[in-house]
Amino acid sequence: MAEVEETLKRIQGQKGVQGIIIVNAEGIPIKTTMDNTSTVQYAGLLHQLVLKARSTVRDIDPQNDLTFMRVRSKKNEIMIAPDKDYFLIVIQNPSD
């Protein structure tokens, strides 16, 4: 329990990180560092995106699986680490 907190704090402490969301398999945000509306929006939209991406990868090659997703936009970068039951979503503003 404490390790989880520590990990999240460490991630939050990295340069440029704007927010972290942990979403479960059904799309419910379990833990978040952002306000509720954004959280819900991110969780709902990204959940579908990850499922679609994963099914795409597995359709092409059933032995393959999605390990990481990065969505780079003009203003920031959304990184999603999927797992069997949970996703970890981090929004970072890369410094350059």
Partner 1 sequence: MEIVHVYTKLRSEFGRQCLFSDRPAELLVDVSPDPNLALQFIQKTRRDQAMQASRDMSEHQVNTERFESESRGINHLEGGWPKDINPQEMEQTIRFRKKVEKDEVYINSVLQLGSIMEHCIRQNNAVDIYREYFEDEDEVEENQEPPSAKTINVFSDPNELRRTITDLSWHPDGARKLAAAYSCLEFQKSCRGLSLDSYIWDIENPNKPELTLKPASPLVCLDYNPKDPHTLVGGSYNGQIVYWDTRRGGTPVEVSSVEQSHRDLVYKILWLQSKTGTDAFSASTDGQVLWWDVRRLSEPTDQLVLDPCREGNLDRAFGAVSLEFEPTMPTKFMVGTEQGLVVSCNRKAKTPAEKMVCTYEGHHGPVYALQRNPFFPKNFLTVGDWTARIWSEDIKESSIMWTRYQKSYLSNACWSPVRPPVFFTVKMDGTLDIWDILFKQNDPTLSLKVCSGLSTLQKNDKSLLAAMFERETKREKILEARQREIRLKERSRSEQSREEEGGPEVGDDSPHQLITWTEKDFFSLVEAEQRRRSEREGRGQQETAVCEEREEKNETTSAK
Interacting residues toward partner 1 by CB under 8 A: 1, 3-4, 7-8, 10-11, 14-17, 22, 24, 26-28, 30-31, 40, 44-45, 48, 52, 67-68, 70, 72, 77, 79, 81, 83-88, 90, 92, 94-96
Residue 78: CB minimum distance to partner 1, A: 11
Burial string for 56-87 (b: 16+ CB within 10 Å, else e) reads eeeeeeeeeebeebeeeeeebebbbebeeeeb
Rank residues 48 and 64 by Cβ distance to partner 1 and give the closer one. 48
Residue 87: CB minimum distance to partner 1, A: 8
Q: Which residues pair with 69 in a beta bridge?
A: 80
Q: Which one, of 67, 69, 72, lies nearest residue 94 by Cα? A: 72
Residue 71: CB minimum distance to partner 1, A: 12
Residue 37: CB minimum distance to partner 1, A: 8
Q: Which one, of 21, 19, 14, 33, lies nearest residue 95 by Cα? A: 14
